[in-house]
A = this chain, B = another copy of it.
Amino acid sequence: MSSLHDISWADYSALSIEGKVPLLARPDGMPFHTLFAQQFGRKELDRICDLATKIRFIAKSRDGMDFLQGLLSHKRAMIYFTQPSSRTFLSFLSACQILGIKTGEVRDAAVSSEFKGESREDSIRTFSSYFDLIIMRTQEKGLAERMAHALSQSDRPVPIINAGSGKDQHPTQALLDIYTLNRSFEKKGGLANRTVMYVGDLARGRTVRSLSNLLTNYEGMRHVFVAPPQLQIGDDIVAMLKARGNEVVLSDDMRAWLPRVDAVYMTRIQDEWDATKGESARIDTSRFKIGAAEMALMGANAILMHPLPRRDEISTDCDSDPRAKYWRQMRNGMWVRTALIAATFDCDDMILAWRSRQ
């Protein structure tokens, strides 16, 4: 039966970021690492989405929860967050708990500083000695790949999941965004030939970069990037999308485009990356916010997304609008991460075959 592990590991290997990480093709018994969004092709995305939907369904019953919690109750995971994010942390924690996985954690600077005396490789190898899975989030670009490579040379090469690495990658965020789009358009003709508008700080947010990239796996996508000129999307992304035959529009007029798109993906200003303090505050972002008036411009079948946390980009007035999907999107993150972890440990076939005993 087909499984997530049918992924082409030659492709995987070829995707190594900046040529620095020689990711090897995966022989039998080698771990499945989740390192960057681009390693997932259409086949893998469909598999993850199917799994997430099935898990969501199974989890509705006590019977089903008992089944899920029994799947990996013999496994233990280390959640190692040197770049804090309680939201992502709790999402991964919940995913582990749904599958019965026990967890250990490092998630604040005070505790993680103890590891500073030793090399990152030694810290990760320590975790691999005690745990069966490492979920890591760091400031450092490319670290997950480097650690996966280092572990591959030890005798406990446990799988690594990148839960965010600097401005660089956040592959599970991209997966949950894809799943939310998929789920939203499932009964409305599917996710193809859609227009997605991204709004806000497109220069510095990694989610839009990863999501637009993954959307090239679907046919006939159009991308509308709406931002103040200083925060517009990078040329590299525009070039990549065009090279793959996707339509691209750059604009600074959100209201003009609102009636014409299928999905609106809002983002917050990432002022934590400001080169000089207060830099972002001087940019006029007033025309890149959504309230009741803007919702009125959106199509009846269009959806509104946001990776959260939000500031004032989306007014709380919008929360009860059925087109607002950001809370569901967050909960989808838990289901997608559960699916990903299950697949990492080869439970995907067992889950898809599950039938209630009742």
Binding site for B on A (CB under 8 A): 62, 65-66, 69, 73-74, 76, 78, 84-87, 90-91, 93-94, 97, 102, 104, 106-112, 114-115, 117-119, 121-122, 125-127, 129-131, 153-156, 308-311, 316, 319-320, 327, 330-331, 334
Please name all residues of chain B whose beta carbon is closer than 8 Å to the beta carbon of A127 when the two chains form the complex: 90
Rounded to whole Å, the gap between the CB of A314 and the closest CB of chain B is: 10
Please name all residues of chain B whose beta carbon is closer than 8 Å to the beta carbon of A73 when the two chains form the complex: 65-66, 69
On whether the beta carbons of B94 and A130 are closer than 8 Å, the reply is yes
On whether the beta carbons of A108 and B111 are closer than 8 Å, the reply is yes
Residue of A69, A74, A119, A125 most packed against chain B (CB within 10 A): A74
Given the interface contacts A109-B110, A110-B108, A111-B107, does A94 sit within 8 Å of B308 by beta carbon? no
New contact pairs (5) apart from A65-B74, A69-B74, A130-B331, CB-CB < 8 Å? A86-B111, A86-B115, A118-B310, A125-B327, A129-B331
Number of copies: 3
The one of B76, B91, B102, B153 in contact with A130, judged by C-beta atoms closer than 8 angstroms, is: B91
CA gap between A119 and B127 in the complex, in Å: 35
The closest CB in chain B to the CB of A330 belongs to B129
CA gap between A131 and B91 in the complex, in Å: 10
CA gap between A130 and B78 in the complex, in Å: 19
Please name all residues of chain B whose beta carbon is closer than 8 Å to the beta carbon of A94 when the two chains form the complex: 76, 104, 130-131
CA gap between A94 and B132 in the complex, in Å: 11
On whether the beta carbons of A334 and B129 are closer than 8 Å, the reply is yes
Please name all residues of chain B whose beta carbon is closer than 8 Å to the beta carbon of A93 when the two chains form the complex: 104, 130
On whether the beta carbons of A74 and B66 are closer than 8 Å, the reply is yes
Please name all residues of chain B whose beta carbon is closer than 8 Å to the beta carbon of A130 when the two chains form the complex: 90-91, 93-94, 331, 334
On whether the beta carbons of A114 and B310 are closer than 8 Å, the reply is no
Please name all residues of chain B whose beta carbon is closer than 8 Å to the beta carbon of A122 when the two chains form the complex: 308-310
Given the interface contacts A94-B131, A330-B129, A331-B129, does A86 sit within 8 Å of B62 by beta carbon? no
The closest CB in chain B to the CB of A86 belongs to B114
Please name all residues of chain B whose beta carbon is closer than 8 Å to the beta carbon of A117 when the two chains form the complex: 309, 311
Given the interface contacts A110-B108, A118-B310, does A126 sit within 8 Å of B76 by beta carbon? no
On whether the beta carbons of B76 and A316 are closer than 8 Å, the reply is no
Please name all residues of chain B whose beta carbon is closer than 8 Å to the beta carbon of A119 when the two chains form the complex: 316
